[in-house]
Structure 1
């Protein structure tokens, strides 16, 4: 039996329902990722037992920012995951199910198991879907442990990255970035730097050509950090190819086909020893299938500052599933959670005036080696919005320690419990009130 105060302790709340059960709640939270879990924690405390219903099919919850370090051989997958039952709030009701159909005009959803949930308010926090199947040959490569194909984006495949680097003898190590949207957009290049570090420590770097093939026209969207990252890439000998989008993987021949977006219609077939793939990503099916809730790309259509839905005032969104023009990161979710808390409280109190505004804050700790990190923080306008009173474009061991050891504990203990809402207050204190 687990101790009650252990993080492994399974909270005692319902995860089952009768078939085709009719359920009513004050607040429905769709999705149990970082955004859904933190918002459920905030409001279940306020609203009381079973007033919040969470619909989430997964049995495990993962701190996905740690996957880069897992793939780089610096952490284990076990350190990145905990049972979903241990992180969801005990005051809420958990339906281990997924939404099959949204009916926002009726304040209702239907689940795969046939349950109908009526809500007064709804938070959509479904994240994004990893579309590995959209690249021919990719799933085949990932299914073969000796193929050299790997991906840090899924717990199913992340250990393949370390194993592929361990098995490396000689050749090209290629890391890809697809056409946006992409969650954690720094992760695709972080593994290139960690691969360089990994191979150097094992005396194999001289036999490797490490490449970063990105579909973007730049290395990073914020110039200050992009300038620093170009220096890192040059120093490490990582070849950066912009405007390169992965089209196909041929695992039998160990080759990858890229389109050159700088020369439309041109493709190139490149041999690889290791191919780390960031998959194409998009909205989950049920959300994409509800035109009432989404924009033309299938993402939840919310106001960029208030996070309230553009057409349905009882619906709010948080995180990767929204059409907010910010980076899709856990840090962005933390900042959004404080805005959403205040605005949803106001809406539940009958106010038509929503007091809080989201400025697009996001953060990307860009790991550049086994003990170095550039801590990028920025807003909607891609302007640096840094927490610490130092130049965060400089590689620092302190920032790596923050990324690898402090932020995971902050996530499990504070963010998922509903207490962490981003570093805005700390930033103001450290900058003597002179920062935004």
Structure 2
């Protein structure tokens, strides 16, 4: 009998639990540790942030689902990982031992790295439903008394898709309220150009997104470093391609949503040979830590180095498609080990994103995620908006039913089929 412990119950942790339970032997125990009683569908947070969804709309209680799947659920925060002892320490001081550990914690949101950033400062966030919910309430108040808006992603950010989604969804909502003419919108980003996305662009994402911004009268500042945020004022340094200061901006705003940089969670930070200096988990091509061979990791919490430096630091995103491929590889590799074999499965690490803009959107596919690529494709249209809604409905159903089938398994081929038909 083996005890397989999964820490985290998000986009990575939940599929990991379901797939591992299906692949494990009858005598093995699968345990999930999470600090929340519910799963929440992170890709819907931009909708919550403009009050198009309520937090409860994108949540699923975990206890009934895990009970049905015969997965042990421990609702507690992990205080510290102890890889030398093969155990995790919980917030109440107790410990949970494991034979295999899968770390799927997601990131820590590094608001503290910029004065005044974040929900405890002067900007909103859609990285977590607990932030997006209050942001949606404040957005509703903003529409009653509008003013300038700043949306974007700060230095070190790696997940740019939600920033673009929130930007265009907010713009759509303003038009629906018939107050777009009263709101100046500025997009501020650490990307070297619009549509970089932490991926050096995918297809013509640069041209597509710039075109959307021009058509919708949105200004932008790239290569931007946010120095500090005060009530109603953001101080931004714009640099050139060599990193030299190009211009200092003082940007007034009445509403702002800025994505922060990510770090590893506190329970991981500083564990030598398990994590890098930012606290992200080090993994090999099989999602396994090179030092602690019985530890795997999936999702946003793993370390991926940028392909090349940018004038202002940017990270590499981990999309849902990529995370699901990590999960499937990890589950099969642990089963290999249970059967006395060496791990042989690898995640594809491809990027597929459905970026909803409220009434249209952009979809892109990068195979592999980092160039040079075998396939890169981008398309836009109203169909992306409906595809994103379909993705939300499917994934929520998957969690409620405890299904282990990957959503993205055949979607790239379907999207490329759509592309060929459109041509």
* Unaligned segments of structure 1, at least 5 residues: 1-23, 387-391
Distance 1:249 1:397 in 2: 35
Distance 1:59 1:26, change over 3 A: same
Residue matched to 1:358: 347
Distance 2:78 2:147 in 1: 45
- In the alignment, does 2:172 pair up with 1:197? yes
Using the TM superposition, give the Cα deviation of residue 418 of structure 1 relative to its aligned residue in structure 2, in angstroms. Answer: 4.7
* Unaligned segments of structure 2, at least 5 residues: 306-315
Distance 1:48 1:377 in 2: 38
Residue matched to 1:12: none
TM-score (norm 1): 0.82
- Contact 2:202/2:365 (<8 A) preserved: no
Distance 1:327 1:137, change over 3 A: closer
Q: 2:364 aligns with which of 359, 373, 376?
A: 376
- Contact 2:48/2:129 (<8 A) preserved: no
Using the TM superposition, give the Cα deviation of residue 72 of structure 1 relative to its aligned residue in structure 2, in angstroms. Answer: 3.0
Distance 2:374 2:127 in 1: 26
Residue 287 of structure 1 aligns to a residue whose secondary structure is coil
Kindly tell me the number of residue pairs found equivalent between the two proteins. Answer: 393
Distance 1:43 1:187, change over 3 A: same
Residue matched to 1:54: 32
Using the TM superposition, give the Cα deviation of residue 87 of structure 1 relative to its aligned residue in structure 2, in angstroms. Answer: 4.1
Distance 1:376 1:30 in 2: 30
Distance 2:103 2:161 in 1: 25
- Contact 1:26/1:119 (<8 A) preserved: yes
TM-score (norm 2): 0.84
Residue matched to 2:93: 114
Residue 34 of structure 1 aligns to a residue whose secondary structure is coil
Using the TM superposition, give the Cα deviation of residue 67 of structure 1 relative to its aligned residue in structure 2, in angstroms. Answer: 0.7
Residue matched to 2:14: 37
Distance 1:86 1:329, change over 3 A: farther
Residue matched to 1:411: 395
Residue 114 of structure 1 aligns to a residue whose secondary structure is coil
Distance 1:131 1:342, change over 3 A: same
Residue matched to 1:88: 66
Q: 1:289 aligns with which of 270, 275, 284?
A: 270
Distance 1:151 1:35 in 2: 21
- In the alignment, does 2:205 pair up with 1:232? no
Residue matched to 2:129: 155
Using the TM superposition, give the Cα deviation of residue 42 of structure 1 relative to its aligned residue in structure 2, in angstroms. Answer: 2.1
- Contact 2:172/2:359 (<8 A) preserved: no
Residue matched to 1:421: 406
Q: CA RMSD in A?
A: 2.7
Using the TM superposition, give the Cα deviation of residue 237 of structure 1 relative to its aligned residue in structure 2, in angstroms. Answer: 1.2
Distance 2:261 2:172 in 1: 26
Distance 1:355 1:189, change over 3 A: same
Deviations 1:37-89 (A, max 9, x none): 22122223434477122221112221010011122333222211122324435
- In the TM superposition, what are the counterparts of 1:11-410 in structure 2 within 5 Å? 26-45=3-22, 46-48=24-26, 51-88=29-66, 90-138=69-117, 142=119, 149-166=123-140, 167-168=142-143, 169-183=145-159, 185-221=160-196, 222-224=201-203, 225-251=205-231, 254-262=232-240, 264=244, 267-303=248-284, 305-324=285-304, 327-352=317-342, 354-368=343-357, 370-378=358-366, 379-382=368-371, 383=373, 385=375, 393-404=378-389, 406-410=390-394
Deviations 1:271-316 (A, max 9, x none): 102111212321101111311311233210001x311112222111
Distance 1:426 1:163 in 2: 34
Distance 2:415 2:190 in 1: 37
Distance 1:93 1:73, change over 3 A: same
- Contact 1:171/1:209 (<8 A) preserved: yes
- Contact 1:150/1:164 (<8 A) preserved: no
Distance 1:30 1:247, change over 3 A: same
Using the TM superposition, give the Cα deviation of residue 203 of structure 1 relative to its aligned residue in structure 2, in angstroms. Answer: 2.3
Using the TM superposition, give the Cα deviation of residue 426 of structure 1 relative to its aligned residue in structure 2, in angstroms. Answer: 4.9
Residue 193 of structure 2 aligns to a residue whose secondary structure is coil
